[in-house]
Structure 1
């Protein structure tokens, strides 16, 4: 009889252990299912479908942090092109400078005012001089914030009689701001200054 009770007690312990293991397995499976559902949901949100010509094209959304160097370089490039690409037309100059000033702080406005007071833009117009800039490279410091940068570019002043090539080097910092139509990358250039802008070559244009 005692052996019978002992067998019942042993069986009860086995059932109890099996129940614990079953509960643990159910909890583990439930947690895994919840985790996988969240992961798939996040992955789904990162897939964007763009409708073009009646066809759905898949695009993948990325965290902005992955694209900061690319966007920042383009922001700096666009700013320099807007500030330095000038034609002998006062309306064109005003339009491009206005575009550039949306991308930078008051230092760029001060630089523009100084050039204007010195008659630089009037000289471009009266001399029919076209000014072009080509950004060669941009060095970024992504280890600190605001992000420091140095921009190396080649500037050309095209006259009817000659073309002057200049070496242009500027530096500054960039911080994050809200995106807008006038500032699509969402950066603002601060403490911008020109550290070198000197003639490298003067070439006479052939008639």
Structure 2
């Protein structure tokens, strides 16, 4: 009888261990299923479907953080092009600068107001001078927030008879607005923007330097 009870106890322990193993296996399957489902949802959100020539093409969107330096540089470049690429016409100047002010805070508006007060834009218009800018490089620091940048650019003042070339260096910070709009597609805002240097570059023709 004792042997029979011992066998029953042993069988009960085996059933108990098997039950624990079965519960663990079920829990593992459930957790794996949830993880795999979340992964599929995440991958689905990263897919972009593009209609091109009547065909639906699939593209994979990149993570904003991994693409951050590219977006920051493009935002800074776009701002400078709107602010400094000017035609000698009042409405064109206001339209271009207004677009740049949508990408920045009041620090850029202050620079704009200072240029108005100094008669800078009136001089461009009266002398029929076109102004162009080429951003050479933008140095970023994304290890701290707000992000900081220093932009080095070449500015050209084009007259009918000559072209003056200037070196432009600006500095500022960039804040993430977390939202994108048609006027601000990257969703960044330039703040504490200042012009560090804006001076003529002597142009050399042969052995002569023209100031």
Q: Map Cα deviations across residues 1-43 of structure 1 (whole Å, 9 max, x no partner).
A: 3222222221222122112212211211221122111112211
Do structure 1's residue 201 and structure 2's residue 202 form an aligned pair? yes
- Tell me whether 148-157 or 177-186 shows the greater mean CA deviation: 177-186
Q: Map Cα deviations across residues 131-157 of structure 1 (whole Å, 9 max, x no partner).
A: 110000001111111111100000011
Deviation at 1:203, TM superposition (A): 7.0
Do structure 1's residue 64 and structure 2's residue 53 form an aligned pair? no
Matched residue, 1:174: 174
Q: Distance in 2 between matches of 1:180 and 1:14?
A: 65
Matched residue, 1:23: 23
Q: Distance in 2 between matches of 1:111 and 1:2?
A: 98
Aligned residue-pair number: 204
Contact 1:157 1:164 in 2 (8 A): yes
Write the mapping of 1:24-173 to structure 2, written as runs, cut at 5 A: 24-173=24-173
Which TM-score applies when normalising by structure 1?
A: 0.92
Matched residue, 1:190: 191
Deviation at 1:179, TM superposition (A): 2.0
Contact 1:87 1:93 in 2 (8 A): yes
Q: Distance in 2 between matches of 1:162 and 1:202?
A: 11
Structure 1 unpaired stretches of 5+: none
Q: Distance in 1 between matches of 2:30 and 2:118?
A: 73
Deviation at 1:63, TM superposition (A): 2.8
3-state SS, counterpart of residue 64 of structure 1: coil
3-state SS, counterpart of residue 65 of structure 1: coil
Q: Distance in 1 between matches of 2:204 and 2:165?
A: 8
Q: Distance in 1 between matches of 2:151 and 2:4?
A: 90
- Tell me whether 129-138 or 12-21 shows the greater mean CA deviation: 12-21
Q: Distance in 2 between matches of 1:190 and 1:20?
A: 61
Q: Distance in 2 between matches of 1:65 and 1:131?
A: 34
- Tell me whether 63-72 or 190-199 shows the greater mean CA deviation: 63-72
Deviation at 1:129, TM superposition (A): 1.1
Contact 1:163 1:202 in 2 (8 A): no
Q: Distance in 1 between matches of 2:186 and 2:44?
A: 25
Q: Distance in 2 between matches of 1:13 and 1:106?
A: 76
Q: Distance in 2 between matches of 1:140 and 1:13?
A: 66
Deviation at 1:83, TM superposition (A): 0.7
